[in-house]
Structure 1
């Protein structure tokens, strides 16, 4: 499954060895902490910590950049909107929060196998059986959702770059149609892969 949907980078760092549950809990706590940091200076300190975590994980800076690259244009747009309504400090604060949250989530996916993440979620979701839900399928859905976000975001970046090369960057249709088609192709490929592994809805 990792080869299809995950960004996992094999390694033996302390972050790789942490249990998936601890990493998910740490991610939740860290993202909550980002919301509580009030100034760009405080968030700059948080950015230094995130950079240190990436360095300790030894996943490589190319992999690290791949996690935040898809949201760079969203970050620019967010900064512009916040600059107009909240001023420079508010714009920097809001943008840093989003970028750092994405980077932290990416670090979890880079250092955690999809199978381990699913197993952790399945254990935590065992209570779902009470209402007739299959914890495995719910964990699979959550894992695939997490893994598909950067795929679709990366697709959006490629479509935008192709638009710019053709000189039609202002055309909504030229952006939306290839993006939807690409996303549907990704979904079809993913569905076929899951079916081949016996994970379709036939059972």
Structure 2
């Protein structure tokens, strides 16, 4: 299982409408950047961490969400400390960790198909601009769903190349990640085609039923 796979459950967070969770994620991201204060970022991170037990998600799963980004967080902290101050570096990594954990919580407690449906309903106004909201909602939902997966792929490749003594080579890490990402994209496209996805319809369907791409 990769990080941020949907985990079935009956918690209050699982039962929340997908639209509410997506709006909460957007609001959190907006507030974290509107109020760039360390106290607020730490409070937000603490509140999000508390939500994981409420959703009956193990602590190990929570830690797995941050493990792929650990090296990036350390790098960002070092750069900010060197260029600005250690307080600025701490703010950056706490803010990024809060956003990452919140996005992971949404994907852990919400089916991708439910996110697509919620986004499609919220983007109904795009029809007046002759834009199919089904295409936009599918792209956004898949992007939200697979960002943690790509992070996990990068971690796996780095560990494999480290065993070969190539962990310091950017090309040795980037090329396999790109190949696996393109293969995953092909698999998703094949799955949608096999389920008779029609972008001209209001939502992906097969025989009148919604497609699940979890």
Above 0.5 in TM-score? Answer: yes
Greater share of helix: 1
Contact 1:43 1:96 survives alignment (8 Å)? yes
Q: SS of 1:16's equivalent?
A: helix
Contact 1:191 1:200 survives alignment (8 Å)? no
Q: Which residue of 1 aligns with 2:142?
A: 144
1:132 to 121, 130, 143: 130
Q: Which residue of 2 aligns with 1:26?
A: 24
Q: Which residue of 1 aligns with 2:59?
A: 61
Q: Which residue of 1 aligns with 2:205?
A: none
1:185 to 174, 183, 186: 183
Q: Distance in 2 between matches of 1:201 and 1:38?
A: 43
Displacement of 1:136? 1.5
Q: Distance in 1 between matches of 2:66 and 2:168?
A: 24
After TM superposition, list the pairs within 5 Å mapping 1:95-110 onto structure 2. Answer: 95-110=93-108
Displacement of 1:199? 1.7
Q: Distance in 2 between matches of 1:78 and 1:157?
A: 17
Contact 1:126 1:135 survives alignment (8 Å)? yes
Q: Which residue of 1 aligns with 2:44?
A: 46
Q: SS of 1:104's equivalent?
A: helix
Q: Which runs of 5+ in 2 are unaligned?
A: 202-214
Q: Which residue of 2 aligns with 1:76?
A: 74
TM-score by length of 2: 0.85
Q: SS of 1:59's equivalent?
A: coil
Q: Distance in 2 between matches of 1:113 and 1:101?
A: 19
CA distance 1:201–1:4, change in 2 (3 Å) = farther
Displacement of 1:77? 1.1
The one-character-per-residue Cα deviations of 1:155-201 (angstroms, maximum 9, x if unpaired) are 11111111211112222221121111111111111111111111267
Contact 1:27 1:104 survives alignment (8 Å)? yes
Displacement of 1:42? 4.1
Contact 1:23 1:108 survives alignment (8 Å)? yes
Deviates more, 1:166-175 or 1:193-202: 193-202
Runs in 1 of length 4+ with deviation above 4 angstroms?
3-6, 200-203
CA RMSD of aligned residues (A): 2.3
Q: Which residue of 2 aligns with 1:116?
A: 114
TM-score by length of 1: 0.89
Displacement of 1:4? 11
Q: Which runs of 5+ in 1 are unaligned?
A: none
Displacement of 1:111? 1.1
1:171 to 166, 169, 172: 169
